[in-house]
Amino acid sequence: MKGRESGMPEEASWSAFFDAEAAVLALLGPQPVDGNVVEFGCGYGTFTLPAARRTNGIVTALDIEPDMIASVKMKAAAQSLPNIAASVRDFVAGGTGLDANSQAHAMIFNLLHLEHPVALLREAHRIIRPGGVLSVMHWRSDIPTPRGPPLTIRPLPQQCAGWIGEAGFDSIIAVDLSPGCPYHFGMVARR
Ligand SMILES: C[S@@+](CC[C@H](N)C(=O)[O-])C[C@H]1O[C@@H](n2cnc3c(N)ncnc32)[C@H](O)[C@@H]1O
């Protein structure tokens, strides 16, 4: 089932909200990721492509929308990034299909407002290897933002941190995404 309020505007408009390279640098770290990365709900691949340039493993990009996956595949080919594996998948209904402990990093960006965030986080916890990292980014609620889900369902950083802990992660740390992503907060946690 597609998560609530998870539709996307035109790509140019969406991309303008972020400095995606800076966000990926801040959330994945300055060293290349040593292992595989998975992105839940990759959308246009705004963060998939920067992540693929920063890992020596495979970036699995999952989305329920075939058009989004087609777009990511085209960009991966155009940018000669053979380490992107993009697939149409409903990870709410069927999980990621990835092996337990197979990922060094999982990215969940602009998605934790969906109906069952802890279930999604538990799936991330299952597939991330011990010592691996989860990164989360979402729209801020404390300032006006040009887009984002309604404030009634938009998660606060402390809610996300609570859910992340409930799913089994620890060492939950806030990541400052300014100035590149002024409308977003970030956090990372360790499996
Ligand atoms: C708001 S967009 C965010 C895209 C991307 N993470 C980003 O920040 O640029 C959420 C994405 O999640 C996808 N999505 C929603 N529910 C899903 C589900 N159940 N399974 C897979 N993808 C889903 C949507 O199709 C959409 O592309």
Residue 171, pLDDT score: 96
Q: How confident is the model at residue 102 (pLDDT cuts 50, 70, 90)?
A: very high
Residue pair 149/139 in contact by the 8 Å Cβ criterion:
yes
Instruction: Catalogue all structural domains in the chain, each as residue range(s) with its CATH number.
Output: 11-190 (3.40.50.150)
DSSP label of 30: S
Instruction: Give per-residue pLDDT as tens, 25-72.
Output: 999 999 999 999 999 999 999 999 999 999 999 999 999 999 999 999
Q: How confident is the model at residue 159 (pLDDT cuts 50, 70, 90)?
A: very high
Residue pair 114/3 in contact by the 8 Å Cβ criterion:
yes
Instruction: Please name the helix (run of DSSP H) or strand (run of DSSP E) that holds residue 26, with its range, or none.
Output: helix 20-28
**What does the H/E/C string look like for 69-124?**
HHHHHHHHHHCCCCCEEEEECCHHHHCCCCCCCCEEEEEEECCCCCCCHHHHHHHH
**Cβ(22) to ligand 1 under 6 A?**
no
Ligand 1, atom 26: nearest CA belongs to which residue? Answer: 43
- With CA atoms as reference, report the closest residue to 121 among 63, 175, 40: 40
pTM (global) more than 0.95: yes
Residue 42, pLDDT score: 98
Task: Show Cβ contacts of residue 53 under 8 Å, excluding neighbours closer than 6 positions.
Answer: 81
Mean pLDDT of the chain: 97
**Residue 109 carries which side chain, given as an amino acid letter?**
F
Tell me, in angstroms, the distance from the centre of ligand 1 to residue 63's CA: 6
**Cβ(43) to ligand 1 under 6 A?**
yes
